[in-house]
Copies of this chain bind each other. A is one copy, B any other.
Amino acid sequence: MELGMVGLGRMGANMAQRLVKHGHRVVGFDPGPQAREQASQRGIDAVDSLTALVAGLKSTRAIWLMVPAGETVDRTLADLLPQLSRGDIVVDGGNSFYKDTMRRAAMLSEHGIGYVDCGTSGGVWGLAEGYSLMIGGDEIPVERLRPVFEALAPAPDRGWGRVGPSGAGHFAKMVHNGIEYGMMQAYAEGFAILERKQEFGIDLGRLAQIWRHGSVVRSWLLDLSANALERNPTLDGIAPFVADSGEGRWTVAEAIDLDVSAPVITLSLLERLRSREDDSFADKLLAAMRNEFGGHAIRKG
């Protein structure tokens, strides 16, 4: 079928290319000329405006947004809305907050436009291996997009599915990322313990390879860790600085809002915050307190 792709960054361009490979036609828009140029070379009909994108699609249209979460989504929807017709469908494939999604779906619904939220996992590997797609929204538009989901997923019959009404897809993706934080932290701590036990001289890349086959902890994240550790066993040149993209924060906040105690997901987020502190006020105060009551020496900062 035919799809408009708004946003031809790393994720959007790869997804569009995967759709093209599966025989779909993709009209793609990105404000950056270089992104459009590269998309053209990958078989995407790259256009230089939203208007051209809308014009390049037959009714009823399906337009997939792969743009940064937040204001960009609202702005894009505001630009698109006057150009769309009843029965068109917009998909938000990014990491939007699920409550924003619910608000947007209600707004578009008043105009007879379908709104589907699609939590998309797979990263840069999705182009080759397919994406895991958690979909929220009404059943009819989801069903109409079936060929798209079947092409994006690792296989037509797996790795994608409608999980609930509007917002459910992004909610599921949010929790997915929370789990991801927890798993990553678990591996990171484990390898850090092994690395510190220098008397055993364990080759961490090799151990990760052993674990990849038959162990209880085998996973795709372990596959990636094995790659990273085999290539650079001491992780030389990598700063201990861990960014976070926002979904972990939402998961922590939602868990608390739902009265669910989620210590591991929460601590995984806090550890990322901690990784970015190089002069912790809390730790300085602890040192100062110890000095006050016990006369313990303070290190000069």
A residues sitting closer than 8 Å to B (CB atoms) are 10, 121-126, 129-134, 136, 153-155, 158-161, 163-165, 167-168, 171-172, 175-197, 200-203, 206-207, 209-222, 224-225, 227-229, 232, 235-243, 249, 251-256, 258-277, 279-296, 298-301
Contact = CB atoms under 8 A, between A and B. Distances in A.
Tell me the number of copies of this protein. Answer: 4
A11 B138 CA distance: 48
B264 A213 contact: no
28 contacts: A122-B214, A122-B216, A123-B294, A153-B213, A163-B203, A164-B201, A172-B207, A175-B190, A176-B216, A179-B190, A182-B187, A185-B286, A191-B282, A192-B262, A192-B281, A217-B220, A219-B220, A236-B301, A237-B300, A239-B284, A240-B281, A241-B287, A243-B287, A249-B256, A261-B274, A261-B277, A266-B267, A275-B280
A265 B190 contact: yes
A218 B121 CA distance: 10
Closest 4 CB pairs of A and B: A182-B186, A219-B219, A159-B213, A132-B215
A280 to B, nearest CB: 4
B240 A280 contact: yes
Contacts of A194: 171-172, 175
A52 B243 CA distance: 57
Nearest to A98: B200
A189 B186 CA distance: 14
The CB with the most chain B CB atoms within 10 A, among A121, A136, A177, A217, is that of A217
A196 B281 contact: yes
Contacts of A224: 289, 292-293
B189 A241 contact: no
A218 B132 CA distance: 10
A189 B264 contact: yes
A288 B200 contact: no
Contacts of A161: 206-207, 209-210
A228 to B, nearest CB: 4
A163 B284 contact: no
Nearest to A283: B240
B239 A285 contact: no
Contacts of A288: 225, 228-229, 232, 235, 238
Given A182-B264, A239-B300, A301-B237, A154 B213 contact: yes
A276 B266 CA distance: 18
A176 B189 CA distance: 11
Given A228-B288, A286-B185, A158 B209 contact: yes
B188 A185 contact: no
A192 B293 contact: no
A277 B283 CA distance: 12
